[in-house]
Structure 1
Amino acid sequence: MSGPDQPAPHPLLAASAGALGGVLVLDLSRVLAGPYAAQLLADLGATVIKIENPADPDVARGFPPYLRSEAEEFSAYYAQYNRGKLGVALNLATEDGKQALKDLVARADVLVENFRPGTMIKLGLGYDVLAKINPRLVQLSISGYGQTGSRSRRPAFDSTAQAAGGLWSMNGYQDREPVRVGVTIGDLSATLFGVIGTLAALRHAERTGQGQLVDVAQVDSILALTETAVVDYTVAGTVAAPAGNEHAWVRPYELFPCADGKVFFGAYTDKLWRASCDLFGTPDAADDQEIDTMRKRFDAEVYERRVRPLIMDWFRDRTRAELEDLAGDLIPLTAIKDVGEVVDDPGTAERDMIVEADYGELGRLRMFGQPIKLSVTPPTPDRIANRLGEHADVVLSGIAGYSADKIAELRRGGVI
């Protein structure tokens, strides 16, 4: 809302029709966890301003793969996690840069940062300072170990979180060394918990006018994804160990080979097991007294001796497509697909999970869409990412109320 002391927003900053329309987010973060959190907010309708150091921009701008034209190279990695954002290059090491950020904070609802704890305070831009300017500001701070505790200042990456949070020790096979999860799950889990916390804090701020600091650690986020590992240890003293593609006790619930690849099959309940036995032409197996109940099939020795060989016989001469067609809507059976197959799968298109953004001479970028489907205020993931600092004039005039002369002065001074 604009008032007598506030400039009217530029049309580019006007509220969108999305669920978060009218919410203004300042994104100071880099690489993945913070940028992805801000990108989710942008997809959902918030106006997000990406703020980077003009001399040291987001390192993800250099990550492969790249869109290329004769005149330009642009990171598709950066594009996927910064789509739909406006861009400002702002040197926060300068007093004018700090003041410009403060002037933007005065109008903002959310600020996202993922510097090492203490960095914002060292810059003179800690949450206590910003909250005095805007008491309703919600600040999402994502870090490796969190803003508090003896480990808070330690450097951390995704693999740090997987190691310190226990997940790395649980993944892989029993007879081999543990294996890290193949995606940056430490960053991604912190992203999701960060967005949940931000939306909760934003709801409180809208109701009471009181903002707050949302402190999310990658290590904490990983620990919260370890399923039953914590209570297995605290209740039974059992330390989780790698189990390969098998579940700890649910059987059958794993990967099986077939004629042209592998499938996941998880018909472990009595109802699903009987349906599977009928479907694959061995109805007598459902009544076999050694394997006729779920509890019996859960027994590791019985499973290896009786159940697994039967399933192997069912699948051996059938292709993945044949098995999926046969299973249909009856039993849980899914081909193990590579990413190319997933992207080209008609089912993926039906859910709008591959979207395109037009980068002009660079071409069209196909990237993953938005898994959150809203029936009234649908998200808008099919947008381009910002070039470095390209919206400085629009943002500083439309939000901070800076004149063209002041913006030119900041540009001459290397502030923007």
Structure 2
Amino acid sequence: MHGPLGDIVVLDLSRALAGPHAAQMLGDLGARVIKVEHPDGGDESRGWGPPFAGPSGDISTYFLAANRNKQSIAVDLKTPEGKELIERLVRRSDVLIENFRTGVLDRLGFTVGRLHELNPRLVILSITGFGHDGPEGGRPGYDQIAQGEAGLMSLTGPGPGEPYRVGASIADLLAGIHGAYGVAAALYERERTGHGTVVRTSLLAAVTGVHSYHGTAWTVGGQVPRAGGNHHASIAPYGAFRCADGMIQIAVANENQWRKVAALLDLDKPGYATNRERFAHRDELIADIEKALAAHDRAHWLERLAELGIPAGAIRSIDEVYAWEQTRSQGLLVEVEHPVLGTIELPGPPLRFDDHPGFHHTAPPQLGADRDAVLDWLARAEQEAASGGEHRSTAADETEGGR
């Protein structure tokens, strides 16, 4: 099955996580993704670990997480030969993704003007740390720095005095997600205008873009949100609670749910009738709930809460998540054939399309392994374009060594 983007070609000049994640998302949708890497070591995430895998212990599991469904070619962008090859690929691509520091691509000779001179229909996704302009637009961007600068760390942790980073590289991942949906919108617009455009996002924009009610708490409500540990900033009870043998999470979003919980835990008492009242007495409420939950283990309470239709759940470790049948049933784990590791499982895409149920995923590529396949495809595309046709890459347009 080709996927929704089965006729799209993506030239991925990015590295590390934000850009590669965006490109991987487009590859999950069926696009042919050509990953351009420097011959000397390739994408720096190939060296990030532990853990590493393989007989020689030199395959980064970090790299494997962001580069499925891609082909790899090794190109030195500073050489005339490398620039010539990139120009040829730009002419035949629909999307170009880059996350260089501001100005780097310009200095290499690939300004936006030049790229659109080569291919007026090209959609360009540019991901930076703090934006491409503004007083600090040239700053390098790294996930944890962005988490701090964009306020996320001030919202995360046991309390206001102990800011924590989010465990995942969430600024990078959100920038990739925002970038991918921006590309999808730009491709749709191109069908109307006939011209490509530039889509810009940044780690700063990606994190600020998910402030949601924390942002309006300040911009409208005049309150500066602070870290509140494992409990919601506006709803009570909503968070993690201790039982006899560990912790569970309970989310009470309305008064009907609260009445059921109150009856179950014998907490029908003054001051808890409404969310506003409960939140005003949140510390006392949490203590009362945990005192009641201490009578039984997690399995007991999860079963009782489920019977009442109360949202609740366990706190799973990563290995438990991937062993969970519900995770597997949603296609969130995919099996691929790696040339060195053999059959491996990777975290899968978060989207499913009813019209494309049998999408075939490919393993993250070895450095430069697909050069011949890409050059063969490129030559055929150029030949067809020269003869008056327009070559479109699809998942069915496969050559040995890659998609």
Is TM-score (shorter-chain normalized) higher than 0.5? Answer: yes
By how many angstroms is 1:360 displaced?
4.9
Q: Unaligned 5+ residue runs, structure 1?
A: 1-15, 404-416
1:370–1:379 contact (8 Å) kept in structure 2: no
Kindly, what percent of the aligned residue pairs are identical? 37
Of the structure 1 ranges 111-120 and 163-172, higher mean CA displacement relative to structure 2 is found in 163-172
User: Where does residue 213 of structure 1 map in the other structure?
Assistant: 198
Pick from 328, 333, 353 the counterpart of residue 332 of structure 2: 353
When residues 325 and 360 of structure 1 are mapped into structure 2, their CA distance, relative to the original with a 3 A threshold, is farther
Partner Cα distance (2:160, 2:10) in 1: 48
What TM-score do the two structures reach when normalised by structure 1? 0.86
Partner Cα distance (2:219, 2:271) in 1: 34
Matching of residue 324 in structure 1 with residue 324 in structure 2: no
Matching of residue 298 in structure 1 with residue 279 in structure 2: yes
Q: How many residues align?
A: 380
The amino acid of 1:291's aligned partner reads Y
User: Where does residue 343 of structure 1 map in the other structure?
Assistant: 322
Matching of residue 122 in structure 1 with residue 107 in structure 2: yes
SS of match in other structure, 1:141: strand
1:83–1:381 contact (8 Å) kept in structure 2: no
Pick from 241, 244, 247 the counterpart of residue 256 of structure 1: 241
User: Where does residue 289 of structure 2 map in the other structure?
Assistant: 311
When residues 237 and 276 of structure 1 are mapped into structure 2, their CA distance, relative to the original with a 3 A threshold, is closer
By how many angstroms is 1:234 displaced?
2.6
Deviations along 1:25-56, one digit per CA (max 9) or x if unpaired, are 00011010000110011011000001111124
2:2–2:359 contact (8 Å) kept in structure 1: no
User: Where does residue 151 of structure 1 map in the other structure?
Assistant: 136
User: Where does residue 230 of structure 1 map in the other structure?
Assistant: 215
By how many angstroms is 1:220 displaced?
1.2
Pick from 82, 100, 109 the counterpart of residue 97 of structure 1: 82
By how many angstroms is 1:362 displaced?
2.0
What TM-score do the two structures reach when normalised by structure 2? 0.89
SS of match in other structure, 1:399: helix
1:255–1:263 contact (8 Å) kept in structure 2: yes
1:138–1:212 contact (8 Å) kept in structure 2: yes
What do you get for the CA RMSD once the two structures are aligned? Answer: 2.0
User: Where does residue 22 of structure 1 map in the other structure?
Assistant: 7
Matching of residue 247 in structure 1 with residue 232 in structure 2: yes
Of the structure 1 ranges 228-237 and 129-138, higher mean CA displacement relative to structure 2 is found in 228-237
Of the structure 1 ranges 166-175 and 336-345, higher mean CA displacement relative to structure 2 is found in 166-175
Matching of residue 68 in structure 1 with residue 49 in structure 2: no
Partner Cα distance (2:193, 2:154) in 1: 43
Equivalences for residues 178-217 of structure 1 within 5 A: 178-217=163-202
Q: Unaligned 5+ residue runs, structure 2?
A: 384-403
User: Where does residue 395 of structure 2 map in the other structure?
Assistant: none
By how many angstroms is 1:379 displaced?
7.3
1:27–1:49 contact (8 Å) kept in structure 2: yes
1:43–1:381 contact (8 Å) kept in structure 2: no
Of the structure 1 ranges 268-277 and 173-182, higher mean CA displacement relative to structure 2 is found in 173-182
